Amino acid sequence: MCTWTAIQDKVKLAYCNFPHCELWLQNLVGAGIDTTTTTVEWAMAELLHNPHMMARAKEEIEAVVGTDGTVEESHLPMLHYLDAVVREVLRLHPVIPLLVPHRPSSTCTVAGYKIPEGTKVFINVWAIHRDPQFWEDALKFEPERFLSGGGCKVDYTGNSFHYLPFGAGRRICPGVSLGERMVKLILASLLHRIDWSLPDGVKSDLSEKFGIVMKKEQALVALPTLQ
């Protein structure tokens, strides 16, 4: 109710009643939680599929945080390999594979294609991120491509049109900065001083289930062991 009171105080709109703002807040929280947890799940799935990468990420986290410390946001800028892992996860498994659809306010021509006013336009970033024209070994999970010397200099701002996990331009995801930090913080906390393995008899599976949010076809099940 405190949040609702704050909205009433700051947003003096006749149509901003409690049900409207409740749904608005649910959309904000729901969108942030679902996309964040899905990205973390894909990251853990890829690291379990590539144990040497998980070992490297854990070694970096231990070197920066220490064995007795707790992962803090201040540690994130020093976790370069973890950053590369997250970037590669967002490349190979973009959480919103078709982004949010847009409609042009007037008829326009893009790359020779006429797009009438009001046409619903989707951007297939899933395909763009796997295009061998832009990515070497496009189907291979390779965080090293985002490290210094890896040859891939892109960021989340949408300035590189072959890497658009959060969209681009004025309609870029408003939660890009928070989402990036939360994924790294959660992933680093999961890897710090915890060993992970698949249950006996369970094979690594990276199959995708298409939807507005690109999830794993089968939910990830992993066993933690405290160090």
Please tell me whether 16 is known to bind a ligand: no
What DSSP line would sit under the chain, residue for residue? -HHHHHHHHH---TT--HHHHHHHHHHHHHHHHHHHHHHHHHHHHHHHHSHHHHHHHHHHHHHHH-SSS---GGGGGG-HHHHHHHHHHHHHS-SSTT-S-B--SS-EEETTEEE-TT--B---HHHHTT-TTTSTTTTS--GGGGSTTSS----SSS-STT--TT--GGGS-TTHHHHHHHHHHHHHHHHTTEEEEPPTTPPP---EE-SSS-EESS----EEEE-
Residue 12: per-residue pLDDT: 55
Q: What is the mean pLDDT of the chain?
A: 89
Q: What would the mean pLDDT of 26-39 be, rounded to a whole number?
A: 81
pLDDT tens-digit series, residues 182-215: 999 999 999 999 999 999 989 999 999 988 899 9
pLDDT tens-digit series, residues 135-165: 999 999 999 999 987 668 788 888 889 999 9
Query: What pTM, to 2 d.p., does this model score?
Result: 0.86
| CATH class of the domain whose range is 17-226 | mainly alpha
